[in-house]
Structure 1
Amino acid sequence: MTSAPTGSPSRPAAPSDLGVGPLLRAWREQRRVSQLELALQAGSSARHISFVETGRSRPSEEMVLRLAEHLDVPVRERNALLLAAGYAPHYPETPLDDPSMAALREGMEQLIQGYEPYPALVMNATYEVMAANRGIAVLLDGVPESLLVPPLNAMRLTLHPEGLAPRIRNLRAWRGHLLEQMGRQVALRRSEPLRALYEEVAAYPLPPGTPDGEPGGEPGAEATAYFALPMRIEHEGRLLSFISSVSTFNTPMDVTVAELAIETFLPADPATGKYLHSLLS
């Protein structure tokens, strides 16, 4: 999956039992948008936005969805806004194993398999691994069976002191990157399961001997100028370097689909690509 942030992300305010107004105000303040700016974007007035936030005016269902769109509120939280306003949820949440999701599952499997020999996996909102290819299996060589019991969790596998962490050469930087990423998502999604995961993995001790900084390259190796932070990990005595990329679905209309992410790992140097091809091609 640069130093780690101190403490866990602050808990969001405005519980749903206070109504839709405080929830919308919390999202607007989190996005650092003024009432006037939001009104101009949503085709309304600052006066009306103020009345909605203070509970003096009940927004229409269309207005709730329009404001949520302009505030870039996650799909699950848009349903929460609608419920708080007295409307039915707009977006379904279909289990991934539902027959109606067959085409989606097949498409994701084809995508991650087509990425081989490079690692790729599909995760949900709490980093549970929904699908993975053979490249991921290569990285997990040597991980204890206790960490491989389903459902697999990408963050636990990466940061646990008995998982991949001891083999990640730039662990402090990579760990910091992952915790910062999770912290942003905790604030965005207001998810207690995600917050609990964050607090769990942030508390993992660093493996003994973890260096303060990333060590130099292998003896005799040329320095590599990376265009993004790599994950540098040992595998059977070799040092592999990967740049990760995360993709999500555009304009999802289902909560499950909205929370899926496909993470792929691109070789950051020719030696890594050549080695993976020799293993899996």
Structure 2
Amino acid sequence: MRGDPKVTGVLPIGLENATKLMNLVSKSGKEYVCVMQVHCDYKIEELRNIIQEFIGEIYQRPPVRSSVKRRTRKKRVYNIELLESEGRLVLMRISSEPGTYMRKICHDIGILLGCGAHMRELRRTRSGVFSEDNNLVTLHELSEAIYMYKKCNDESDLRRVLLPMEFAVCGIPKVVIDDYAVDAITYGANLNAPGLIAFQEFKRGEDVAVMTLKGELVAIGESLVTSNEIKNMKKGAIIKPKRVLMERDIYPKGWKKNEKT
């Protein structure tokens, strides 16, 4: 009887105001290294050919033991690389959109092989822009850093562990705004054309990071127009805030509240 597979790897954690970014991170692309055990002997070329069939858009029904409703969904697998094989054990690197079940991919590969397969181990090597190559620490190291800060007033380890929340938006388009537009956005106002300084390309309805001239993250917003349309805009709303990250009243007011007469 098989036990649960061993699962380890990258898990970004947000603190305080940065928790508002975790939904954005969770919806970013993922990469895994996976150990699959095939239930019979196989030819390596046949296995490679079957694996190639799972690259691209696939239909997937979540496993019985899952946290979502078991209905067939479309998911996109960006790439599957067969790294190594030894006997019936196969090591693969898989990159996909979020919500794709690696154990289901292993199971379905086994079905096409005709003898079955299951996932033995899984390691998430990347979640959005966060990967094993940038500042990966264990929970034990995090615990030690907090202890040193609280008991010894030494924040050097904690500074190494923590990253600025601006790091989380590296993978999405950005706009840079005038200082006098910042405070209005922290109160929930739309970003209008006169407050825009610079921008990257984006589509209508896409998540966009709103940044100050100093590179500080103000908010995550939804684009109301495309970046091409902005070039001819002198007025009108460009970005609608969805998650405000900066505290209010840090920047000078460039707007006035309507007062009742």
> Shorter-chain-normalised TM-score: which range?
under 0.3
Larger strand percent = 2
Return the index of the structure with the highest Cα Rg. Answer: 2
Larger helix percent = 1
Comparing both chains, which one has the higher relative contact order based on Cα–Cα distances under 8 Å and sequence gaps of 6 or more? 1
